[in-house]
């Protein structure tokens, strides 16, 4: 009698339990407890390891569907919270950057494609492709640069003459700018080093006389000879450095004239695309420990 009474009380309690708004109107997903309550535990949770349904793809996909017990909230691919999601976006970005930089015929790029195809859900890839086509997702490495160069090509007023670019490059070399007395950067290097040595010697002269509490003209002739010697050393050092730089530039320019095909990255002053600059590379991820 008592067991029957308890059963009736439980049934009455279940009938009186309030129904969640999400269950009636579908505004929110069901909680895990509600899904487990709807699930036939004998059909899923108690399957033995030898049950062939473990290898039934259709049955297993049903468990992660909207009505299955393993359902989760839809993933926002912009904010990856799980390792698989982060790796998925990594390989997706690596693939499209790889083909943009190195071309679609570069075979190592296929590695990234195979990897993200295996680990990324299909609806993620569709969303990634949609964002990439809209230009709000990484992948188009050269897009902005290509647009910029095409606009410059159309605007003749924005194009800089090649001779002007060469003049600007040569303007920064030693002894290539007009001499100005008020601008020490235009002085020949030998005179610049000479005056620097003389100025340093004069400061040493002043502070030494102040420290020794002696007049400025004390031991004038020996100090003047020493100051002239320091200036001469500065002149010699500056002349040697100037000769070295001129010789180096002459040798480099002569070698470039003999092998111009090896120095196109120096003569092409308009710039190039990333695909012509970067060498082939494969990014290393923290979870790749095989070749460490």
pLDDT in tens, 96-109: 888 877 778 888 88
pLDDT for 194: 94
Q: Does the pLDDT of residue 176 top 60, yes or no?
A: yes
Q: Is there a single domain that holds both residue 138 and residue 226? A: no
pLDDT band for 22, please (50, 70, 90 cuts): very low
DSSP string, the chain: -HHHHHHHHHHHHHHHSPPPHHHHH-SSPPPHHHHHHHS-TTTTTT--TT-GGGG-HHHHHHHTSTTSTT--PPP-TTS--SHHHHHHHHHHHHHHHHHHHH-TT-TTHHHHHHHHHHHS-HHHHHHHHHHHHHT-STT-TTHHHHHHHHHHHH-GGGPPPHHHHHHHHHHTSTT-SPP-TT-GGGS-HHHHHHHHHHHHHHHHHHHHHHHHT--TTTTHHHHHHHHHHHHHHHHHHHHHHHHHHHHHHHHHHHHHHH-GGGGHHHH-TT---HHHHSPP--PPPTT--TT-
pLDDT for 119: 77
pLDDT band for 149, please (50, 70, 90 cuts): very low
Domain that holds residue 66: 24-72
**253 or 168, greater pLDDT:** 253
* Mean predicted lDDT score pLDDT of the chain: 71
pLDDT for 156: 47
Q: Is there a single domain that holds both residue 146 and residue 199? A: no
4 found inside a domain? no
Q: Which of 109, 125, 158 is the last residue of a domain?
A: 158
Q: Is there a single domain that holds both residue 40 and residue 91? A: no
121 found inside a domain? yes
pLDDT for 28: 60
Mean pLDDT of all residues in 191-211: 92
Q: Is the pTM of this model over 0.85?
A: no
Mean pLDDT of all residues in 210-231: 90
165 found inside a domain? no
286 found inside a domain? no
């Amino acid at each position: 009698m008592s067991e029957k009474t308890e059963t009736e009380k439980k049934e009455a309690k279940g009938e009186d339990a309030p129904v969640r708004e999400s269950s009636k109107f579908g505004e929110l997903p069901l909680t895990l407890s509600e899904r487990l309550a709807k699930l036939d535990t004998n059909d899923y949770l108690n399957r033995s390891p030898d049950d062939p349904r473990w290898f039934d793809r259709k049955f297993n996909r049903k468990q992660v569907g909207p009505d299955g017990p393993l359902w989760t909230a839809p993933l926002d691919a912009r904010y990856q919270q799980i390792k698989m999601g982060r790796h998925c976006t990594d390989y997706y970005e690596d693939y499209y950057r790889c083909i943009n930089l190195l071309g679609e015929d570069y075979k190592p790029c296929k590695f990234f494609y195979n990897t993200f195809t295996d680990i990324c859900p299909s609806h993620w890839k569709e969303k990634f492709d949609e964002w990439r086509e809209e230009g709000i997702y990484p992948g188009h490495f050269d897009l902005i640069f290509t647009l910029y160069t095409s606009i410059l090509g159309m605007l003749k007023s924005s194009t800089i003459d090649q001779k002007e670019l060469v003049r600007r490059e040569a303007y920064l070399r030693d002894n290539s700018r007009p001499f100005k007395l008020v601008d020490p950067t235009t002085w020949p290097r030998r005179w610049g080093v000479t005056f620097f040595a003389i100025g340093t010697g004069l400061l040493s002269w002043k502070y030494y006389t102040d420290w020794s509490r002696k007049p400025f003209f004390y031991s004038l002739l020996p100090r003047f000879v020493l100051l002239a010697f320091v200036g001469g050393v500065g002149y010699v050092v500056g002349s040697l450095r100037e000769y070295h730089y001129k010789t180096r530039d002459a040798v480099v320019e002569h070698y470039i004239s003999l092998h111009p095909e090896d120095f196109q990255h120096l003569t092409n002053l308009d710039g190039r695309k990333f695909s012509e600059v970067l060498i082939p590379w494969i990014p290393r991820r923290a979870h790749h420990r095989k070749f460490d």
